[in-house]
């Protein structure tokens, strides 16, 4: 599969020119054969999401999901071909985490469309899908990525929007638990303060006195800093898709055999890609208040989904399976070559030795060239999903988001289009940064 067009797509993404990026992908659709149909739909689907073309995005992501589901029942013949040659010969069904990301982004599309119930359906699919995926593996082969804290948090927000406060409380509590016991030790991602605030508000709204006291004891600094009545406020979420997701590359090692044959084993590895933006600083302005910005209406985006770390950990979890298959495949090629060389030598007394060497050499070259790791992956995913949350009075707002590096330097900013929001309502704004 050709990948040269991704450089041009990246250039358009740097310019926030998502429509031309989509045009490039559509022009290069022919480079994605049937084996890569899911991957094409993944890439176009996430590009359409960045472009706020939410319905179009869901059409492509939905197609990718159908293909991926069908590939779980792929034919034995295609599996056999991958054993004989390499994994590139079979249709790409995505990494396990990529499968979950399909529904995550479809949920975000529905948030953009304000179709809250549809967004909840997709969010629930992420949780269900991770359970199903891990059920397919033996106890000693399961993925670390077995629950998604960000999607649990999003479910809480969506339940709140639907007025289901008890379900919102359960989702927030589960999200906080996953961040504490899973995301922080495995991906270095802690629960943001506003998740704990939402958990506290939900418990208080349900009059869960014991739970309210427990949250206050566990997070005293966060709870003591709460100074607003959420019921009278509007809520704005800034979804910041930051950085390039990790790149899958080939790693390999060779082992010389006693007869001079060199056995090559290749396997994939995710490596990080550099990006400068550390976070986004959101500033909103109430249009009735003139140009003055209020400190309470500023929010720094917090890391909630470290896709880079999830991807690398997810691949690491199945690397043993990949290597075992690669070693068996390389060994089978070696044994086939050795058997062929012996047969030539036994059946030709005059030139047997010379022909045997030629067979071994040709077999060795063919084996080395065909032994390639499957480095296909969903290239246009971000490295991070960061979130900023602002509680603010109802009104008409506009503003900007400044993108800042790790030293606190503002690299550039983007305008936030004017929007109106009422008390109790939730509004989603998203931005993509690549560099």
- Which has the closest alpha carbon to 313: 97, 93, 138, 42? 97
- The gap between the terminal CA atoms of the chain, to the nearest Å, is 25
Say what the pLDDT of residue 402 is. Answer: 94
Pairwise CA distance, residues 247 & 270, whole Å: 5
Residue 265 is predicted with a pLDDT of 73
User: Phi and psi for 410 in degrees, rounded to 5?
Assistant: -75, 120
Q: Please report, for residues 330, 341, 357, the alpha-carbon distance to residue 348 in angstroms, rounded to integers and kept in the order given.
A: 27, 11, 13
Which of 348, 426, 95 is closest to 245 using CA atoms?
A: 95
Q: What is the pLDDT of residues 101-148, one digit of tens each?
A: 999 999 999 999 999 999 999 999 999 999 998 888 877 778 889 999
Q: How far apart are CA 147 and CA 349, in angstroms?
A: 64
C-beta atoms surrounding 322 within 10 Å: 18
Find the mean pLDDT for residues 287-296: 58
Task: Report which of 19, 28, 8, 424 is spatially closest to residue 236, judged by C-alpha positions.
Answer: 424
Pairing of strands 395-405, 410-421: antiparallel
pLDDT at 360 over 50: no
Write out the two tokens for 43. Answer: 């890439």
Higher pLDDT, 157 or 299: 157
Look at residue 259 and tell me whether its pLDDT is greater than 70: no
Domain map of the chain by residue range?
A: 229-435
- For the stretch 88-104, pLDDT in tens is 678 898 899 999 999 99
Question: Per mean pLDDT, which range of 191-200, 221-230, 337-346, 423-432 is the poorest?
Answer: 337-346
Q: State the CB neighbour count (10 A cutoff) for residue 10.
A: 17
Answer whether 55's CB lies under 8 Å from 113's CB: yes
Q: What single-letter DSSP state applies at residue 31?
A: G
Contact 383, 245 (CB under 8 A): yes
Strands 298-300 and 426-433: unpaired
With CA atoms as reference, report the closest residue to 159 among 147, 174, 170: 170
Q: What is the pLDDT of residue 368?
A: 46
Q: Which residues contact 123 (CB under 8 A, 6 or more apart)?
A: 103, 104, 107, 151, 154, 155, 158
Please report which confidence band the pLDDT of residue 245 belongs to, taking 50, 70 and 90 as the band edges: very high
Report the range of poorest mean pLDDT among 43-47, 169-173, 202-206, 356-360. Answer: 356-360
Structure-derived torsion over alpha carbons of residues 317, 142, 122, 54, reported in degrees to the nearest 10: 10
On the question of pLDDT at 79 being above 60, the answer is no
Instruction: Output the pLDDT for position 332.
Output: 57
Neighbour-count burial of 224, counting CB atoms closer than 10 A to its CB (0-12 exposed, 13-18 middle, 19+ buried): exposed
């Amino acid at each position: 599969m050709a990948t040269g067009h991704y450089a041009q797509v990246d250039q358009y993404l740097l310019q926030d020119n998502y429509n031309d990026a989509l045009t490039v992908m559509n022009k290069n659709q022919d480079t994605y054969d049937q084996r890569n149909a899911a991957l094409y739909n993944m890439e176009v689907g996430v590009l359409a999401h960045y472009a706020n073309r939410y319905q179009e995005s869901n059409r492509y992501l939905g197609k990718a999901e159908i293909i991926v589901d069908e590939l779980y029942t792929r034919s034995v013949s295609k599996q056999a071909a991958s054993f004989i040659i390499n994994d590139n010969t079979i249709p790409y069904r995505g990494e396990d985490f990529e499968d979950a990301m399909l529904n995550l982004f479809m949920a975000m599309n529905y948030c953009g469309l304000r179709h809250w119930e549809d967004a909840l359906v997709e969010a629930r699919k992420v949780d269900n899908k991770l359970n199903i995926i891990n059920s397919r593996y033996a106890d000693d082969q399961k993925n670390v990525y077995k629950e998604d804290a960000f999607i649990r948090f999003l479910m809480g927000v969506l339940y709140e929007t639907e007025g289901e406060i008890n379900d919102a409380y359960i989702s927030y509590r589960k999200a906080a638990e996953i961040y504490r016991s899973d995301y922080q030790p495995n991906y270095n991602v802690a629960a943001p303060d506003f998740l704990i605030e939402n958990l506290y508000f939900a418990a208080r709204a349900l009059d869960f006195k014991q739970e309210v006291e427990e949250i206050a004891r566990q997070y005293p600094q966060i709870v003591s800093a709460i100074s607003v009545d959420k019921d009278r406020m509007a809520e704005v979420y800034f979804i910041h898709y930051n950085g390039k997701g990790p790149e899958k590359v080939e790693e390999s090692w060779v082992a010389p055999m006693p007869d001079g044959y060199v056995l090559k084993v290749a396997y994939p590895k995710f490596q990080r890609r550099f990006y400068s933006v550390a976070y986004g600083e959101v500033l909103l302005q109430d249009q009735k208040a003139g140009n003055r910005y209020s400190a309470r209406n500023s929010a720094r985006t917090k890391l909630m989904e470290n896709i880079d770390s999830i991807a690398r950990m997810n691949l690491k979890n199945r690397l043993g399976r990949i290597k075992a298959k690669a070693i068996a495949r390389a060994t089978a090629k070696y044994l086939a070559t050795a058997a062929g060389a012996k047969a030539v030598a036994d059946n030709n007394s005059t030139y047997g030795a010379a022909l045997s060497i030629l067979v071994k050499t040709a077999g060795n070259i063919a084996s080395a060239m065909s032994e390639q790791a499957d480095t296909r992956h969903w290239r246009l995913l971000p490295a991070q999903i960061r979130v900023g949350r602002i509680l603010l009075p109802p009104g008409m707002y506009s503003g900007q988001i400044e993108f800042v590096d790790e030293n606190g330097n503002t690299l550039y900013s983007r305008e936030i289009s004017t929007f109106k929001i009422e008390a109790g309502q939730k509004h989603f704004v998203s931005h993509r940064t690549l560099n």
